[in-house]
Structure 1
Amino acid sequence: MRTPKGTSNGSAEPESRDPSERSMPYGVYLSAAGAQAQNHRLQQISHNLANVDTPGFKPSQTILQARFSELIEEGMVPPGLGGADDIGGGVTIQPEQTQFGVGAIRTTGRETDFALHDKKSFFVLQRGDEQLLTRAGDFMFDSTGTMVNSGGDPVLGKGGRPIQIDPRRPFTVGSEGTITQAGETQQLMLAQPASYGDLANVGGNLFRPLAEFSLVPDSDRNVVAGSLEQSAVSPTGTMMEMIETSRAYEANIQMIKNQDSVLGSLIGRVLQS
């Protein structure tokens, strides 16, 4: 039986040109692919847990997909014959998917903390020449009077420019995300992508829009000052997922050891006969 050929994500052993290497047990390759997939899943779960206290963080989910054996993938054997090729070719790692569940809203008492009380709106930040979206409203004014997030990225107002005040003068924060100083009122820009599929995670709680987004109408703005959306990671559920994944990883490693032991025993018997 032929072993699974390599995939772009390295989920299986690369196809060898040496015929002698093709005789390696098929199950070893399947177990190795499974171990690698579970290891990748463990890394993603660890990343989610590391951001359990990051405001507005959205966890990512690892997607694993079963693959056909090499002969079926190449069209040399049709699927469903009930032969050894229907055992499958292990698993491949697919692009991760972000889970856009809404985190718990916590009252902070800081007037420049903002929370969005809807599922689809995002704050808009400026980083270099591009705009980024976030659900994290932990904002502040820097020494120049520019409103920034915890990473120092300027927060955009409804007109598309960074929110700016005179840091030497008092200001007030109103409902629906408004900043008023000396009679001038500025509103936070709120974006609403057509779908979550239009967003690419660029790290932490920031997303890059892949398509044009709409601005939230004044009638639909639902911003509350003095509050902050927490991470959407469930510590208990994620820890249970980590335990489950660790056991699956260990099971695949043990399968590799068992198959190696069986193969070594078989070779020993052949040499003794």
Structure 2
Amino acid sequence: MLRSMYSGVSGMKGFQTKLDVIGNNIANVNTTGFKSSRVMFKDILSQTSAGATAPTDERGGSNIKQIGLGVSIGSIDTLHLAGSAMTTNNPTDLRIDGDGFFAVSLGGDAAGGTFLTRAGDFHVDGAGNLVNSDGMFVLNTEGETITIDQGSSFSIGSNGIISIRDAEGAVTADNQLAVVVIRNPEGLEKAGGNLYRMGVNAMAGDDAGDGAVPLGADEGGNASRGAIVAGQLEMSNVDLTDQFTEMITAQRGFQANSRIITTSDEVLQEVVNLKR
């Protein structure tokens, strides 16, 4: 009967974690570029009370007898499905139509610490640098900052090329946004602020080399890396219908496991009452 109590405790802990993840998903339903997560369970090792026997000419075989010992968290997956597009008509709002991430940095180049993001709500700061809402520099394919001179106009093409023009309309400079492809996006580590860090199981695509983030985009911005859409933002991929359904399931699962504990306690109480 103690096994059932501990199984109930493991179930309550698991469903509490699931509720924590669901709560975070719902809280970020309107967060730009947010990717929802899910919790997957797995059973804990089972205790064998009797082994299996093979069939013989005199007697048939019997199956193994095992008692499960509860549940544990198998994985917490980040679902990198595309979110819906929101049109803003702001020329520095960018959305990646396809796979890939923008590269941003604290130090102004890749050596300063590179982060990845799907949130393309960028701005031009007082020095003309293209930055995100936290002031981190947006990097080009050379791993450098993108600067737009004062008084210049610019346009961003679907291949990520930023054409900067002077007052007469002549192109004075070209930059290309870095779009980074990750072989296993679920291996990225969430760093807060809509940012991701490279993880040991993420692996950057193509020319990953020693694990550094490759700051490059294919010519023409092919479908694997994604095309850049200016004037749009990618919204959260959280589906409230799914989340509320999962919340109900988690709540009932938590209640059912708590009932296991109270029932086991009542049985223990009956055993104690045998000696009065």
Q: 1:139 to 1:227 in 2, by over 3 A?
A: same
Q: Which residue of 1 aligns with 2:262?
A: 257
User: Which TM-score applies when normalising by structure 1?
Assistant: 0.80
Distance (whole Å) between structure 2 residues aligned to residue 250 and residue 142 of structure 1: 52
Q: Which residue of 2 aligns with 1:271?
A: 275
Distance (whole Å) between structure 2 residues aligned to residue 141 and residue 170 of structure 1: 12
Q: Which residue of 2 aligns with 1:232?
A: 237
Q: Which residue of 1 aligns with 2:211?
A: none
- The one-character-per-residue Cα deviations of 1:213-235 (angstroms, maximum 9, x if unpaired) are 44331221511100011101111
Equivalent pair of 1:115/1:224 in contact (CA under 8 Å): yes
Residue 138 of structure 2 aligns to a residue whose secondary structure is coil
- The one-character-per-residue Cα deviations of 1:62-119 (angstroms, maximum 9, x if unpaired) are 12111213x55xxx97689543xx121111113311111100111111110001111x
Distance (whole Å) between structure 2 residues aligned to residue 52 and residue 60 of structure 1: 12
1:200 paired to 2:180? no
1:105 to 78, 85, 88: 85
Distance (whole Å) between structure 2 residues aligned to residue 195 and residue 34 of structure 1: 30
Equivalent pair of 2:41/2:73 in contact (CA under 8 Å): yes
1:56 to 9, 12, 33: 33
* Residues matched between the structures, number: 240
Structure 1: give runs of 5+ residues left out of the alignment: 1-23
Q: For residue 192 of structure 1, what is the amino acid of its counterpart? A: V
Q: For residue 195 of structure 1, what is the amino acid of its counterpart? A: N
Q: Which residue of 2 aligns with 1:41?
A: 18
| Shift, 1:181, TM fit | 4.0
Q: Which range is displaced more, 87-96 or 50-59?
A: 87-96
RMSD: 2.2
Distance (whole Å) between structure 2 residues aligned to residue 258 and residue 207 of structure 1: 45
Equivalent pair of 2:79/2:186 in contact (CA under 8 Å): no
Q: Which residue of 1 aligns with 2:125?
A: 142
| Shift, 1:144, TM fit | 2.2
Equivalent pair of 1:121/1:216 in contact (CA under 8 Å): no
Q: Which residue of 2 aligns with 1:174?
A: 156
Equivalent pair of 1:165/1:181 in contact (CA under 8 Å): no
Q: 1:200 to 1:225 in 2, by over 3 A?
A: same
Q: Which range is displaced more, 216-225 or 168-177?
A: 168-177
Q: Which residue of 2 aligns with 1:68?
A: 45
Determine what percentage of the aligned residue pairs are the same residue: 32
Q: Which residue of 2 aligns with 1:18?
A: none
User: Which TM-score applies when normalising by structure 2?
Assistant: 0.79
Which structure shows the bigger proportion of residues in helix conformation?
1
Q: 1:77 to 1:203 in 2, by over 3 A?
A: farther
Q: For residue 255 of structure 1, what is the amino acid of its counterpart? A: I
Q: For residue 36 of structure 1, what is the amino acid of its counterpart? A: K
| Shift, 1:46, TM fit | 0.7
| Shift, 1:262, TM fit | 2.4
2:68 to 81, 85, 88: 88
Q: For residue 260 of structure 2, what is the amino acid of its counterpart? A: M
